[in-house]
Every structure is written in structure tokens, then in C-alpha cells.
Amino acid sequence: MKSVIAILTVVLFSVGASAPVLADKPDQEALLKIAQSLFAPLPETVENPDNPLSEEKIELGKMLYYDPRLSQSGFISCNTCHNLATYGTDNLPTSLGHRWAVGPRNSPTVLNAALHTTQFWDGRAADVEEQAKGPILNPIEMGIPDESVAVSRIASMPDYVSRFQQAFPQDSDPVSYQNIANAIGAFERTLTTPDRFDRFLKGDAEALSDKELSGLQVFINQGCAGCHAGPALGGNIKARFGIVESYWEATREFLTVDQPTMPMDVGRFAVTQDQNDLYVFKAPSLRNITRTYPYFHDGSVWDLRAATQIMARVQLGREIDDTDMDKLMAFYETLVGEIPADALRLPVLPASTENTLRPSSR
């Protein structure tokens, strides 16, 4: 049902039934009111009542996020595919994993991901805590064979044990796989990136230039907010990719010689086996979009102008002219935010002990 609603939302916006239409020249006051009804400023952190934040838990999660010993090879960390120095992505079409396996989907940015209503391109995880469990045990990602191996590696280091006790004082056995995920999730809930668009949403009249305001107006008038709304400008609905045209046909010309043709991805259908979910994917966040290339779930398109034009064609049945495209590119630049400084400071990790399971390429 949610997927059907998402499809209807996109269709309505494509014919202008729901999209608020503004005059050719942006009226700043009117534009601000409409923008405030569609979007919202980023919060400093994203709370989860089932996983309360604390300084101890966040710092532990940061250490685990950067620790490659949560992979079988001892080489891959969360930060490998979601590099905070490159805006939470690895800037590859699809990531390299355990034993150099090539993943089937592009690694989306971790920045602002805690705001999304679901995680992964197919929405199979409810939140960042559940998402954190997946890659560690995935045989072509981090390759740990089972939860007990991950837990035993971490529990073999006294400094980690002490930190888990401080982060989860109510637990009699705090070093658990769930708490590994809870700690990583807590850290990720601090990874919001406020930007100039947030200042505009809060009423700062000088935050955006005239061209950037015009780009926001184009974004709204074209119906882009049908999928890219809310504080993250996306991440809150799932929709069929390719409503008016076939997505696969629209992107083939952008594949490079070195990039193999990806098999057709059925999207959320692989999770639910529901025909209504065929080719349905989560609409990604547009925060920091100029830095999170290449684009789409298969990473097939590197150029943001081309990616935007493809979306207009296959989702909305439109072509965006060069003038409006220039304005959109200017607006996208306002969505580049500031990565939390502490998150970028590498933690000093606990030393392995004689009881720490050694890296393995198996």
C-alpha cells in the first residue's frame, strides 16, 4: 500500500495536481512559506526512543564505525563504503567487499540517513540500528560468518568491554550483537549536515542568492518535491523507478566501458514478492547531492545534470531546459552541508589481544 501511495504521489506531482506552482520570478516570502510546508530544517541529532543517545554510546559507535575488525578480513569498516571524508559514500558505482566482491547496489550516503523512514534501497531495514547489522554479516560485504564471531572479536579487547559497560549500564551482558548495532546507530544519528538551505527555512533572507531561489522554485514547480520532501529532501517514500519511461533504457548510454551492464534490479519486489513492489526503490535524500555521485541504485550516472534529466523523463515525463537546469544546479549547491567535525576525527582503536580472532580471507 505504501508503494502504491508513493506512485500516486509522483503521478499527481507530474501533472501538477499537487505541486504548488509559483510565478516566474520568485517571491521570496511566498517561496519560503511553500518551502516550509514541504521541507524542514535538519535537527542536530535524530532521536530513537528505543536507543537513547549518550556521549559514551556515541563515542563507542564511532570507534566501531571505523573499526575494520568488524569484517572477516580485518580490512573493511563501515567507513570504507560510507567514507565520512567523502560525504558518507565511496564514490563508486557499487562497492568492493569481502575478497574483492562487487556489490549489486550503490552505497548510499550515511549522512542524514537516520532521518529516513526505512534503510537500504529496498527499504528492508526499519532504522539505522537494524541497517548496521546487515553489512557485517553479508558474505560479499564485510563477510563475518555469524554474530558470535563479531561479538567475540570485540569482547576480546578489554577497552571495548569497558566502553560497552559504560554505554549500556543496564545490560548484564552489554557486549552483544544488538548493542554493536545500537552503538553504531547512535553515532550515525549524530551525522546531520546543516547547510544554507536550512538557514533559509529558518527565515534567513540572505541565505540563498536569486539564482538559488529560482532553482528552488524550479524544483517545486517541476514536481521534484513529490519524492524529495521532508528534512532530508527524500528518504521518506518508496516509488516505482520508471513511471513514464523505462529507467533501464534511459541510463544505458551512461555506462562506461569499464562498468559492466548491471542485471535488471527488481527493487523491493525481491524483499516482498509483491507485484506492486516491482522496480520500487526508496527515494534517496538530496542533501549533499553534488558530493554523493555516482547516482541511482546502480551508480550508473556520474553527471548530476544527466541524472536530473533522467528523473524528469522517467518519473515525470518532462524535459528540463538548460536555463532551468542551471537554476537547479545552483539550488543543489545550497544542500551541501557541514559534516560534524568530531565525526571526522579518527578514533584511536583498542589493541587486539592474543584472544582476538585473526583476520581471514576465507
188 is catalytic: no
Transcribe 171-182 into DSSP letters: -SS---HHHHHH
170 within 8 A of 4, measured Cβ to Cβ: no
> What residue type is 287 in one-letter code?
R
94 within 8 A of 239, measured Cβ to Cβ: no
d(CA 164, CA 160) in angstroms, rounded, equals 6
**Bridge partners, residue 240, by sequence:** 280
What is the grid cell recorded at 326?
542551471
Place of cell 555469524: 146
> What residue type is 210 in one-letter code?
D
106 within 8 A of 259, measured Cβ to Cβ: no
d(CA 146, CA 77) in angstroms, rounded, equals 16
Strands 280-282 and 238-240 come out as antiparallel
- Which is the catalytic residue, given 59, 129, 141, 212? 141
Catalytic residues: 141
